[in-house]
């Protein structure tokens, strides 16, 4: 049985380590490679071709930035979940459950409105670090309270 985890002091931010290093590392390499290629590419390539090469490298770097920026931020009022394409803000009472089964890519947050949100800022590939972060997040959800049951309308 795992030891109970106490909630961390707020504010706290969880970010993946390897995912950020890989994403931003490749972004730098791709942009530098595109610039070098644009400078040294032989004729018949003209200025528009060279600009297009650098623009393509920057577009790839932007996609990698979107993957590298993922995080989960917790503060007194709730959670901010920054995923690759969407940022969501939820209050503590809205979060019912935090689940992460072995093999999942990231934890899932079950919300009181029936939605399930993935928290890409905690990467399952980081094994022990992901388990610790998920346990801390779960402890915060327990401490801060869950949403009250919806009352049926009369």
**How do residues 9-31 score in pLDDT, each as one tens digit?**
999 999 999 999 999 999 999 99
Does position 1 have pLDDT exceeding 70, yes or no?
no
99: its two tokens: 């689940």
Helix 47-68, helix 18-40: angle, nearest 10: 180
Tell me the fold of 70-144: PH-domain like (2.30.29)
The two beta strands, 87-91 and 78-82, are antiparallel
Computed over every residue of the chain, the mean pLDDT equals: 92
The confidence score (pLDDT) of residue 153 equals: 47
Q: Which residues of 134-151 are buried (b: 16+ CB within 10 A; e: fewer)?
A: bbbbbbbbeebeeeeeee
Angle at 146 between CA 144 and CA 152, to 5 degrees: 150
| pLDDT tens, position by position, 65-74 | 999 999 999 9
The confidence score (pLDDT) of residue 71 equals: 98
């Amino acid at each position: 049985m795992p030891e109970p985890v106490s909630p961390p002091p707020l504010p706290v931010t969880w970010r993946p380590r390897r995912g950020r290093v890989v994403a931003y590392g490749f972004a730098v390499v791709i942009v530098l490679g595109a610039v070098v290629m644009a400078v040294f590419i032989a004729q018949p390539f003209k200025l528009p071709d060279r600009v297009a090469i650098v623009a393509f490298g920057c577009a790839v770097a932007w996609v990698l930035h979107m993957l590298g920026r993922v995080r989960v931020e917790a503060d007194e009022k709730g959670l901010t979940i920054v995923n690759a394409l969407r940022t969501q803000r939820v209050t503590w009472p809205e979060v019912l459950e935090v689940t992460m089964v072995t093999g999942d890519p990231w934890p899932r947050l079950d919300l009181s409105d029936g939605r399930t949100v993935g928290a890409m800022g905690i990467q399952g590939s980081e094994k022990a670090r992901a388990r610790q972060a998920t346990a801390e997040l779960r402890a915060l959800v327990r401490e801060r309270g869950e949403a009250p049951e919806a009352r049926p309308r009369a």
